Amino acid sequence: QKEVEQDPGPLSVPEGAIVSLNCTYSNSAFQYFMWYRQYSRKGPELLMYTYSSGNKEDGRFTAQVDKSSKYISLFIRDSQPSDSATYLCATTPGTYKYIFGTGTRLKVLA
């Protein structure tokens, strides 16, 4: 079993839709959770960073962590074509060692 599982997609949605991206993890020692956005031929860009269970909001983006289920989500409201990218979840137990998911490819259709 991989430490972090993520559906690779691709996921296609119409402009304006709410997007839900998800990851599961296996190790309860993981305490910190991140979402990265990666455009084609670019390095990953940090979007959201959370520690505790619950929700964290930043503009159109909401990160949700459920430690009891070992499940993390990223919601994108009012999705735009410019949101089309690969979204990577990542986690760490706090030791500076990060485990990344495989990434979900998202395409927002105009």
Measured CA to CA, the distance from residue 107 to residue 1 in angstroms comes to: 28
Does position 45 bind other proteins by CB under 8 A? Answer: yes
Q: In terms of Cα–Cα distance, which of 39, 29, 17, 22 is closest to 86? A: 39
**Is 88 among the residues that bind other proteins (CB under 8 A)?**
yes
Kindly state the tokens that stand for 60.
């159109």
Name which position in 21, 34, 63, 85 contacts other proteins (CB under 8 A): 34
Q: How many residues bind other proteins (CB under 8 A)?
A: 24
Least Cβ distance, residue 75 to other proteins (angstroms): 20
Question: Which residue in the set 12, 20, 27, 46 belongs to the binding site for other proteins (CB under 8 A)?
Answer: 46
Decide: is 101 part of the binding site for other proteins (CB under 8 A).
yes
53 phi, psi to nearest 5 deg:
-65, 155
Region binding other proteins by CB under 8 A among candidate stretches 44-52, 58-66, 68-76, 77-85: 44-52
Residue 3 binding other proteins, by CB under 8 A:
no
Question: E strands of 7-70, at which residues?
Answer: 11-14, 19-25, 32-38, 45-50, 54-58, 61-66
